[in-house]
Amino acid sequence: MQAARCPTDELSLSNCAVVSEKDLQSGQHVTVRTTPAHKFVFTVKCHHSVLPGTIAFSLPQRKWAGLSIGQEIEVANYNFDKSKQCIGAMTVEIDFLQKKSTDSSPYDSDKMAAEFIQHFNNQGFTVGQQLVFSFCDKLFGLFIKDIEAMDSSILKGEPESGKKQKIEIGLLVGNSQVIFEKSESSSLTLVGKAKTKEARQTIINPEWNFEKMGIGGLDKEFSDIFRRAFASRVFPPDIVEQMGCKHVKGILLFGPPGCGKTLMARQIGKMLNAREPKIVNGPEILNKYVGESEANIRKLFADAEEEQKRLGANSGLHIIIFDELDAICKQRGTSSGSTGVHDTVVNQLLSKIDGVEQLNNILVIGMTNRPDLIDDALMRPGRFEVKMEIGLPDEKGRVQILNIHTAKMKEFNLLSGDVDVKELAAETKNYSGAELEGLVRAAQSTAMNRHIKATSTVEVDMERAEKLQVTRTDFMASLNNDIKPAFGTNQEDYSCYIMNGIIKWGDPVTRVLEDGELLVQQTKNSDRTPLVSVLLEGPPHSGKTALAAKISEDSQFPFIKICSPDKMIGHSEISKCQAIKKVFDDAYKSQLSCVVVDDIERLLDYVPIGPRFSNLVLQALLVLLKKTPPHGRKLLIIGTTSRKDVLQEMEMLDAFSTTIHVQNISSGEHLVEALELLGSFTDAERTTIAQNVKGKRVWIGIKKLLMLIEMSLQMDQVYRVILTTIITCCIFGTTMSNERVIATDSLDHKPDEELNRL
């Protein structure tokens, strides 16, 4: 037969070869052989305008089969084997036929598939075939990408066997499944279930591994972020559309410095099969020229806007990462300047994330150490709705982080066998990820320093350097000397309070320590009382601060801080409140914390003349003492005071869970016990004092006693005898006359006889 042009546009859209009714009947299938190696299957339709002996093809058909007008071709009948060649599923690539007729309207692929099957029912299709399809008054170019045969079990009325067989040529039937996929460069917007058949490409890179990416200790946090921010993007879009679900557009990561916020945000871009993230430091947005700061925000979203207009729901994910978000998104109306730049930047960011023309193809990740400074409007759902605290790593997390930073040393056998990562993790309570990395670097430096010869020139001992290994000793030296946790326990803070140790002169001291241990265990073990507070009250010099420091030290809590008046000298009331609040805020960042609020009446600026005190500090303390720590955190507060009566008047005693009385040495037996423990006097001197105080009531604080004893150690033996009497007088509260003080002050001017008389 001879190839001809299709007589009408309507017949061109039928996907049939058109013949004369004298040659063939409508609905028959034929093979068209152009060369001995190439044959194509067509379904035919009869039309009166076609001459006998000719077969008419549309332009897409001629292009697919490589036919030219007037070409002689061999045409033969073709019969489909319906047990093997019925189409079960056919994947069709679709695009606008003419690029100038593109639009952004969504096309329902389910309706499209139903119309396709109705229009082309009982026609033959071949992989690689091209055709034209009319839908909603638009012309689309189709390309047959893949054909799967229908399971023969279904044709026999049996349960589906699950076997899928690819075929080259198939017959479209009423229960075939047609799956539309838009072409790679197409701007067509498809909606509905039938738009893709293949397992959708996950946005998560299948090769990602947190430890390989250099992130450790954040498994739970990442799991929560994934659940909120990425689950809807991984799920099949048709189900997401049916649920009416919107993707999360913003994540706010906050927490202490050095815990991995920036690192995590950077690595999320590598983890996702998305475009390279745009990483912006907050201060870089600001510009001295009017309107430029807002323009910088608009530039960040320009690519996402352009792609959403062009591709609609098929647009890829654009990630924008703001580091130090609090620099540009402060609460509106709080800036003292007259320009209002910060306010307009916040407004611009709000409109881009969730404004009138909102974008659905963006994920904005913000990071800050100060979430309290950020404008409230940014924190509502639809904007930065996923708020995740990246806190200090727990022991398991510290093991992961240390493994990451020692992996290369292990690989090249540079880490000694005596280094136990689990031991280091246990020793590094409250260390952030950055501090753990610093610890490894410090240990490496210590190890390398051993192989440097410091002579007239600095040289490396190459023979020994080749055997370099970082040992446990290097890590311990760095742990003790080089790297200290910013949110941890600074031993220097409380060591000065107990430099003389705790003198257990009797049961009163032992009871205080036992009660303190009981409260420590309650804080650790009780889930019902995450906040435990105790007030140690007693007379001056009775050792309250030392006992509080001892209880906190023995607790082994990862975070211990002493809030002391000596650190707030010269502070205004407001700055003092801020300093106290910061101590408590830092404590909330640790799983277990202990805060010692020392000398409360001094913190309150109390003086008996007036009386006067700082109401601002009082109210701040009352709030903080009663404030329950965040979920999963536990806090022990130990307060000390010498003026219980004053706190009672201020109604502050009710803020503490319990009160423990710390008393002075009040009996002669306790005094002798204290002197024996101190070991400063000879047996004869202790006997003299014991005889003087036997069976009598004494009253002296351990701190005052220690001061008097240390004074006596600086004197000669004769003077010590005199001081023994003076100590006894002081213990009993005896007041020395002026004459006796004068005589004592001028002892070094008296002859020996007068000394004996004295």
pLDDT tens digits for range 119-138? 888 888 998 888 888 888 88
- Name which residue leads in pLDDT, 270 or 369: 369
Average of per-residue pLDDT across 428-435 = 83
Residue 197 has pLDDT above 90, yes or no: no
Give the pLDDT band (50/70/90) at residue 207: low
Q: What is the pLDDT of residue 204?
A: 59
CB atoms within 10 A of CB 168: 12
Identity of the amino acid at 419: V
Q: At what angle do helices 668-678 and 683-693 cross, to 10 degrees?
A: 170
Residue 340 has pLDDT above 70, yes or no: no
CB atoms within 10 A of CB 198: 9
CB atoms within 10 A of CB 441: 14
Strands (E), 150-287: 169-171, 177-182, 189-191, 250-254, 278-281
Q: What is the pLDDT of residue 493?
A: 65
How long is the chain? 758
Q: What is the pLDDT of residue 213?
A: 59
CB atoms within 10 A of CB 141: 17
* 395-482, CATH topology level: Helicase, Ruva Protein; domain 3 (1.10.8)
Average of per-residue pLDDT across 397-419 = 88
Q: Which segment, 84-98, 457-471, 713-727, is predicted with the most confidence on average?
A: 84-98
190 DSSP β-pair partners: 107
CA atoms lying within 13 Å on the CB side of residue 366: 27
Asked if 210-332+343-389 and 491-663 have one fold, the answer is yes
Contact 559, 489 (CB under 8 A): yes
For tokens 């904005």, name the residue. 364
Q: What is the pLDDT of residue 749?
A: 42
Q: What is the pLDDT of residue 746?
A: 39
For tokens 């030296």, name the residue. 477
29 DSSP β-pair partners: 43
Report, in angstroms and rounded to the nearest whole number, the Rg of the chain calculated over CA atoms.
42
CA gap 81, 623 in Å, rounded: 84
Bond from prior residue into 611 cis (ω within 30 degrees of 0): yes
CA gap 701, 542 in Å, rounded: 4
Average of per-residue pLDDT across 375-391 = 84
For tokens 């010269």, name the residue. 570
pLDDT, the chain, mean:
80
453 DSSP β-pair partners: 459
CA gap 254, 265 in Å, rounded: 11
Q: What is the pLDDT of residue 154?
A: 52
Contact 215, 267 (CB under 8 A): yes
CA gap 270, 525 in Å, rounded: 41
Q: What is the pLDDT of residue 468?
A: 82
Buried b (16+ CB within 10 A) or exposed e, 238-252: bebeeeeeeebbbbb
Residue 338 token pair: 């007259």
Classify residue 83 by burial, with Cβ atoms within 10 Å: 0-12, 13-18, 19+.
exposed
421 DSSP β-pair partners: none
Per-residue pLDDT tens for 474-508?
898 888 888 877 776 555 566 677 777 888 888 99
Q: What is the pLDDT of residue 230?
A: 75
Identity of the amino acid at 278: K
CA gap 253, 265 in Å, rounded: 8
Identity of the amino acid at 535: L
Contact 180, 99 (CB under 8 A): no
* 210-332+343-389, CATH topology level: Rossmann fold (3.40.50)
Q: What is the pLDDT of residue 152?
A: 65
Residue 28 has pLDDT above 80, yes or no: yes
Give the pLDDT band (50/70/90) at residue 634: very high
Q: What is the pLDDT of residue 737?
A: 37
Q: Show me where the domains of the chain are located.
A: 2-77, 87-191, 210-332+343-389, 395-482, 491-663
- Counting residues of the chain whose pLDDT is more than 70, the rounded percentage is 82
CA proximity to 724, closest of 744, 738, 742, 739? 744
Give the catalytic positions in this structure.
Answer: 544-545, 598-599, 626, 703
Q: 318-323 and 362-368 as β-strands: parallel, antiparallel, unpaired?
A: parallel
Correct CATH for 87-191 of 3.10.330.10, 3.90.180.10, 3.20.20.70, 2.60.120.620 = 3.10.330.10
SS3 266: helix
CA gap 186, 195 in Å, rounded: 13
Residue 708 has pLDDT above 50, yes or no: yes
Give me the DSSP letters along 320-380: EEEESGGGT-BPTT---SSS-HHHHHHHHHHHHHHSTT--SSEEEEEEES-GGGB-GGGGS
CA proximity to 63, closest of 135, 24, 5? 5
Residue 520 has pLDDT above 60, yes or no: yes
CA gap 216, 399 in Å, rounded: 8
Residue 714 has pLDDT above 90, yes or no: no
Residue 548 has pLDDT above 70, yes or no: yes
Average of per-residue pLDDT across 233-243 = 68
Strands (E), 422-508: 452-454, 458-460
For the domain spanning 2-77, the CATH number is 2.40.40.20
Correct CATH for 491-663 of 3.40.50.970, 3.30.420.40, 3.40.50.300, 1.10.3720.10 = 3.40.50.300
